[in-house]
Amino acid sequence: MLKGRHLIDPMDLSIEEIDEVLELAQRIIREPERFSSACRGRILATLFYEPSTRTRLSFETAMLRLGGEVIGFSEASSSSASKGESVADTIRTVECYADIAAMRHPKEGSARVAAANSRTMPVINAGDGGHHHPTQTLTDLLTIRELKGTLEDLTVGLCGDLKFGRTVHSLIKTLARFRGNSFTLISPPELKVPDYIRDEVLARGGIPFVEYERLENAIASLDILYMTRVQRERFFNEDDYLRLKNSYILDAEKLKKAKSDMIVLHPLPRVNEIAVEVDSDPRAAYFRQAKYGMYVRMALIMKLLGVEA
């Protein structure tokens, strides 16, 4: 049972619990009207200390579609944090008003501080700096399960900034727990996946993986391509950035080499790493992915509040 628990790290959930959340999300997709009053009388607090579009709005929409209400703030300057109030004090105050909270904060570890200071209110980590973003991982898993029909025996390509991308790290760690998956890691040397992911998650777990520097050399074998942005500011040498940056722009030409049923994911926002011409390709799933995020958050809210389906 997930009732009353916090969700800080994707690894907080067992495979069985992930399946429970995804199965409920899929039921909500099929019969949304059945759940339209599931959280009537409940209040979600969205505590966003930094800007967000998809995560904040999908949490708020999720609660509203369940018949509940929403309170909160969308940036630190509109809360007492601007006066110096601690996360601990904010959480102890908010739990006087709300039944569940989703919090985004720029400082790593802030979500654990919030959870440790909440006595009755489940806290969901909506992103804490470079650490974790568990509901994005659940969103990715739901999208893959809906579009591929499985979370097993997949060749998953992750492209771009694999060093600093928290969504990449969480997705690798989680999909590595499902049978038969292998990974293709596509990045410049400067932005390779961290050693702890390569050594402790993949190599130690006996999970097959290969590494490439160019997207066009890897795309043909993929079932899933997860794009992220290669950021100019991560390079010490401007010439290296200019040499490599176009390797990580997915366009129609590169897609010609891909499987007809490959799906393209992206946590968004994108800048220029996916050409707009790709949006009309049936394999482009990133806006559907954003919508699935609402459904998986609906399911998670119900599970953490102990609401019967």
The residues that are catalytic are 54-55, 83, 104, 133
CB 107, CB 127: distance < 8 Å: no
Longest distance between any two alpha carbons in the chain, whole Å: 57
Write out the two tokens for 230.
Answer: 């290669």
Q: Say which residue the tokens 């907080």 belong to.
A: 12
Q: How far apart are CA 235 and CA 287, in angstroms?
A: 29
Supply the DSSP symbol for 202.
Answer: I
Question: Residue 84, SS3?
Answer: coil
Cis peptide, bond prior to residue 134, ω within 30 of zero = no
Q: Say which residue the tokens 């760690």 belong to.
A: 173
**Is residue 153 left, alpha or beta, with left meaning phi > 0 and alpha meaning psi from -120 to 50?**
left
CB 224, CB 157: distance < 8 Å: yes
Select from 143, 144, 148, 155 the least CA-distant residue to 180. 155
